[in-house]
Structures are given as structure tokens and as C-alpha cells.
Amino acid sequence: MSVTVFVPRDSTALALDADAVAAAVLAEARRRGADPTLVRNGSRGLFWLEPLLEVATAAGRIAYGPVTVADVPGLFDAGFLAGGAHRSRQGPSEAIPYLARQRRVTMRRIGVVDPRSLSDYLANGGGEGLTRARAMAPADIVRVVIESGLRGRGGAAFPTGLKWRTVLDAPAARKYIVCNADEGDSGTFADRLSMEADPFGLIEGIAIAGLAVGASGAYIYVRSEYPHALAALDAALAAATDWLDGFRIEVRKAAGAYVCGEETALLESLEGRRGIVRAKPPLPAVAGLFGQPTVVNNVVTLASVPDILARGAASYRELGVDRSRGTLPFQLAGNLKHGGLVEVPFGRTLRELLYDFGGGSRSGRPLRAVQVGGPLGAYLPASRFDTVLDYETLAAIGATLGHGGIVAFDDTVDMAKQARHAMAFCARESCGKCTPCRIGATRGVEVIDRLRGGKPGQSELLRSLCDTMIHGSQCAMGSMTPLPVLSALDHFPEDFR
Amino acid sequence: MNATLQTILSRHGDRDGALLPVLHEIQDALGYVPAEAVPLIAKALNLARAEVHGVLTYYRHFRQTPPGRHVVRICRAEACQSVGADALAAHAEKRLGCGFDETTPDGLVTLEAVYCLGQCAVGPALLIDETAVHAAVGPDRFDALIDALEPRK
């Protein structure tokens, strides 16, 4: 029987030359008269090891990484097709400590399955949730999701089941599921990895949401900066037509506006307009896409649903702490030695993620600041590294967990520059609807420039401006931009002198 | 060009919220959305020209003029900043002899900033044209990527 070799095809692996490695493996195999079967899986999320090549042996899958094209002949010499020793050998994939210490639930199939193969998905435990949901009453599906404690993973952390119940109870001829795949936050890639490495998991979650609320169809709004996620979804949906049994899911490509990650701006964009934030109420659950009741959920939220249906609410709810139940796929990013995806239950500390998983800085210099929760998240200094990672603990210290992105900076960072960037980014991306955001962000850049120039009284002015933005902005773009700004000012005042 | 436009427009006429998909298809086919297309799109989708113009100019992805033969988009967001994206950006401007949102004099490259390609663990990252993502790009790798765009004869 032919040996199976896995070389990932997600965009991180591709960005590190995985296509060339895959081609080199096949060419070298031919030269040596071997005939391995090549499977293009997704990454397991251990990005510093990409391209991570795996080979299926009697003892399970053995990993080698990072592998370059130049390494390939040596791998054959070492007998890697039988799991032979090589300096890049990482041992059995699932025993790599970075992976073994995680609790993969939502992301259990990334790197394991072929993202183009529905049969592979179903053979690896996929589909059970949808099968169960099809035999349940809509209200029962909603109840399971409520009982699981699942909250929106896009950043707002609203209880998912309650949102679904509102849509279920809203009388309307048409209802929609909208998947928010406009993952614009720097430091985040969980949505991307979910779509590229396990697209059927997301599709199944959407189909279950559709059954739960009685939706007539669904849209996935994917950012244009994610061409490989778009391709993976298109391919998966083409393969899933029969499995979905008539439920129509359409992929829509966004067009490069960060604010369209805000749910009402996203709906405007889907309707073919400029992505301008809508006033709430009405909530999208009452009057959303085309004025109809609409569930708007993030990718990870929806991808978490199949497992909850398959294994029961309790299996999910028993993980986590306090009001943060289940797991969060954290994303270790920026200046870290071992960046990647770390799915663990809520309740670990920032320090554990940065050092036990992340291995400290990539540069070898001390870590000085960590931005948690994307461009609208606070910068935390080393004195806050023991913060427990759950929604309420972060909120209590003026920070946010957001979508679970963690961006590390070493001691060369200039925090006044980072604060200025936060304001400049808001000025660039503001939809323009409300004044505190549209004008405030521009004034914010100017005030920070004067502050850095040594003009007196500017930090008071900056705080006052931030106060206006926090309380006067219509959505998170304007009201949360002050988080990185004020946290930089509070924790790193020496950089503003 | 008119034939291309008409084909695209006839495909999407009765689709809900068709404007973004239409603009994407036109840009994918022509490289940009020409001014002459705006009234045709408006008519086909039963919109005001102002609405089409508003959407076309709101979203950064859409172009109203043709770009260079290749578009290089360097991520300038926080995660890439933490591992040298600013230095890469400065190097790129020097190497290409043009600034961001500009095109090299020979028309080879349009240089743009992008805010996040989702490669935040392996930055600095950049995207060449529609799909070629590259990670861990330092100055030398950048030069090699640019050299490979069009071999000098």
C-alpha cells in the first residue's frame, strides 16, 4: 500500500513555500521509484514548524518541520517514509508538546483532514452534529446551544443561543444566517485557519444554525485579503451540495473595509452598499439582512456548534471558568518564537501562553508589551502577564479578549508610536457615520504628535478626547480605539515624553 | 470592454445585493473599474449612479485606474510591525523607487499597504497580486521576489 504524505495547503504553509516542498517530495519519490500518496491538509497551527510535513506510519503520523526544498533528498535518505530519524523530525504529530498541551475542540480537525474532502471530514467525526440537529425541534437545538454557554467569538461575546432564540421567535417569511468572516484584526487568524483547514466544520455549523432558526439561506462574508480561504470555501461548498440537502450557503467577497467586521456595516455591505454602521436597535436578530431577522455569528462561533450538538452541551460547558465556558482558539502572534494557534479552555494566564506555548520573544529580547484582542485591544505590560484569560477578567482591567489574538512586542517597541498607529488606523478605517470616530481619530493623531513633541497639557487633552470617543461613538471602531491608546499612556508613560 | 461588462451585468441582474459581486467581477476581468462602467452598472442594477460611485470609492479593494503589472501589498498592521514591517516598508520604497499607493516608473509594480493578511505568527507578510502570500519576508527575500516578477531580458 502506498505511503501517505501530508503537506499543508493553507496560506501560512503556502507563504512559507509548501507548494515547492510538495512538488520536491513527489519529484524525489519518482526518482527513487517510490509512489507516496500526497494529501494537502491544512496546518495544525504550529506555524514556526511550517512547512510541516507528515507521514502516516503504523505508529501514527510522524511530523517533520520546518522542511525546505533543499531538505527533501536528505529526508528520503533518512527513510522518512517509514518515519526515520532526521534533524527536522518532531516525532508523532499529536505528541508535539505544543499540540499535546492544548484542548482542541472547535479546531480538532485542522491539520488532520483534507479540507477538500467531505468524505474525509465525515470519516473524522464530522457531520454528527448536523445529523442530530436534523432529528431535533428548532427550539431544542437553540436550548442546547444556550446550555453550552457558547458566547460570540468575534469579540462581543454575546450568548450565541440567546441570539438564535430571538431569531427563532421572530415571525418572518425569510430569515438569514450570516457568517462574519471579515477577520480584520491584526494578530488573529483562527477564522482563516478554520476556513482553510476545516471548511466543512464551519459549513456544518451554519447548516445547524439554519435549522435552529428556520433560515431560508446563508451568507459567508469573507475578507478579500483571504484568497485561499475563499477558494477553500468555494471548493467545500461545491462538494457539500447534496449533504446540505437544499440549504443554500453563498460566499460573498468583501472589499477591504475593516469596519465591515462590525455586524451592521457588514449587512450594509452584503446588501450592496457602503459599509456604514447602522443604528441599533433594531438588532440584526430582529431586522437584519434585507430587513429580515438575521443571525450574525463569527466563524469560530459557528464552527464550535457541530461539536456541541454531537457531544452535548455539558461537554462544552464543563470547560472554562466563570461565565467564559468552553475553549478559545488563541492566536499567538507577533514577536514570539513559537507563534501559532493554541486552543485551550478559558482560564489560562497570559504568561502561560506567551512563554509556555510561545517560547518568549522571537528576537531573544525581553517582551515589553502585549496587545490582546486586535487593534482595538489594550496593550498590557509585563506586570499584567499573570492576568487570567477570560472575558470578565480582561474587561475588569480595561482590556478585551476580543477574538483571542495576542500580539507580542519586545523592548524595542515605541508605545507612543503604537498609540499613534491606533488613532491613525481608526482615522483610515472609520466609516464616517459618527463624529467622535471620524473626527476624533484624526484629532487623536494630532494630539499624540504634539504630546510626543513635548507640548504641555496634551495628555489631559488626549484623555478627554478618548472619553468622548468611548462614550459618543456608535460602534466599537470609535469606542474601543481608546483602549490601545489609553493603555499605552497608562502603562508606558515614559514613551510619551 | 463593453461586451465583458454586459456579460457580467446580465449574470447578476436579479441577485440580492449584487453590487459588490459585480464590481469584483469587473475588476477581476479588467484590472480596475473604469468610469464608463458606472452608468451601465447603475442601469442594470436599478441604482443611482451616485450609489454605484459611492460604493466603488468607499472600498479600498476597488480601483478606478489600472494598477501596475503587479500589485505588491505589504502588511503594516501591529503583528507585522512587531517583527520589522516598518523596516521592510522603508526598504520596499527604496528598492522600488516609489512610495505607497504609487507605481514604479516602468509600470512593473504598484506598492500598497494592507492591514492584515492573517499571517500574524510568521510576519512580516506580503501579498503579490491576488493570491501569492509570502511570510517572514526580510529585505533580501523582498528583493528576490521583486526580481522574480519579470526576469530582465
Of B18, B62, B80, the CB nearest to A272: B18
Of A47, A183, A186, the CB nearest to B78: A186
Whether residues B76 and B54 share a domain: the answer is no
Q: What is the pLDDT along chain A (497 residues), one digit of tens a residue?
A: 689 999 999 999 999 999 999 999 999 999 999 999 999 999 999 999 999 999 999 999 999 999 999 999 999 999 999 999 999 999 999 999 999 999 999 999 999 999 999 999 999 999 999 999 999 999 999 999 999 999 999 999 999 999 999 999 999 999 999 999 999 999 999 999 999 999 999 999 999 999 999 999 999 999 999 999 999 999 999 999 999 999 999 999 999 999 999 999 999 999 999 999 999 999 999 999 999 999 999 999 999 999 999 999 999 999 999 999 999 999 999 999 999 999 999 999 999 999 999 999 999 999 999 999 999 999 999 999 999 999 999 999 999 999 999 999 999 999 999 999 999 999 999 999 999 999 999 999 999 999 999 999 999 999 999 999 999 999 999 999 999 999 999 999 999 98
Query: In this structure, which topology does domain A4-100 adopt according to CATH?
Result: Glutaredoxin (3.40.30)
Of B16, B17, B20, the CB nearest to A255: B20
pLDDT at B73: 98
pLDDT at A39: 98
- As a whole-number percent, the residues of chain B with pLDDT over 70 amount to 97
Whether residues B100 and B122 share a domain: the answer is yes
Whether residues B44 and B18 share a domain: the answer is yes
Is B64 among the domain residues? no
Query: In this structure, which topology does domain A320-410 adopt according to CATH?
Result: Ubiquitin-like (UB roll) (3.10.20)
Is B63 among the domain residues? no
State the pLDDT confidence band at B151, using cuts at 50, 70 and 90.
Answer: low
Whether residues B45 and B107 share a domain: the answer is no
pLDDT in tens, B109-139: 999 999 999 999 999 999 999 999 999 999 9
Q: B119 to chain A, minimum CA–CA distance in Å? A: 6
The answer to whether the CB atoms of A252 and B20 lie below 8 A apart is yes
Where residue B62 falls (left for φ over 0; alpha for ψ -120 to 50; beta otherwise) is beta
Per the structure, the count of domains in chain B is 2
∠ at Cα A10 (A7, A14), nearest 5°?
75
The answer to whether the CB atoms of A256 and B61 lie below 8 A apart is yes
Q: How far apart are CA B91 and CA B85, in angstroms?
A: 10
> What residues in A contact B80, CB-CB < 8 Å?
186
Say if residue B153's pLDDT is above 60. no
Interface check for B18 against chain A (CB to CB < 8 A): the answer is: yes
Is B78 among the domain residues? yes
Domain A415-496, CATH: 1.20.1440.230
Rounded mean pLDDT of B34-52?
A: 96
0.95 exceeded by the pTM?
A: yes
Residues, chain B: 153
Whether residues B78 and B139 share a domain: the answer is yes
Domain boundary among B58, B80, B100: B58
Q: How far apart are CA A118 and CA A124, in angstroms?
A: 10
> What residues in B contact A256, CB-CB < 8 Å?
59-61, 114
Interface check for B16 against chain A (CB to CB < 8 A): the answer is: yes
Q: How far apart are CA B68 and CA B43, in angstroms?
A: 30
Task: Give me the residue spans of the domains in chain A.
Answer: 4-100, 118-317, 320-410, 415-496
Q: B122 to chain A, minimum CA–CA distance in Å? A: 7
Task: Give the domain range for residue B38.
Answer: 2-58
Q: How far apart are CA A126 and CA A148, in angstroms?
A: 19
Of B16, B51, B58, the CB nearest to A290: B16
Domain A118-317, CATH: 3.40.50.11540
- Structure ipTM: 0.97
Interface check for B129 against chain A (CB to CB < 8 A): the answer is: no
Whether residues B86 and B137 share a domain: the answer is yes
- For A432, the closest chain B residue by CA position comes to B58
> In this structure, what DSSP letter does residue A62 have?
E
Enumerate residues 6+ apart whose C-beta is below 8 A from A347: A320, A321, A324, A388, A389, A390
Is B128 among the domain residues? yes
Across the A:B interface, residue pairs with CB atoms under 8 Å apart total 156
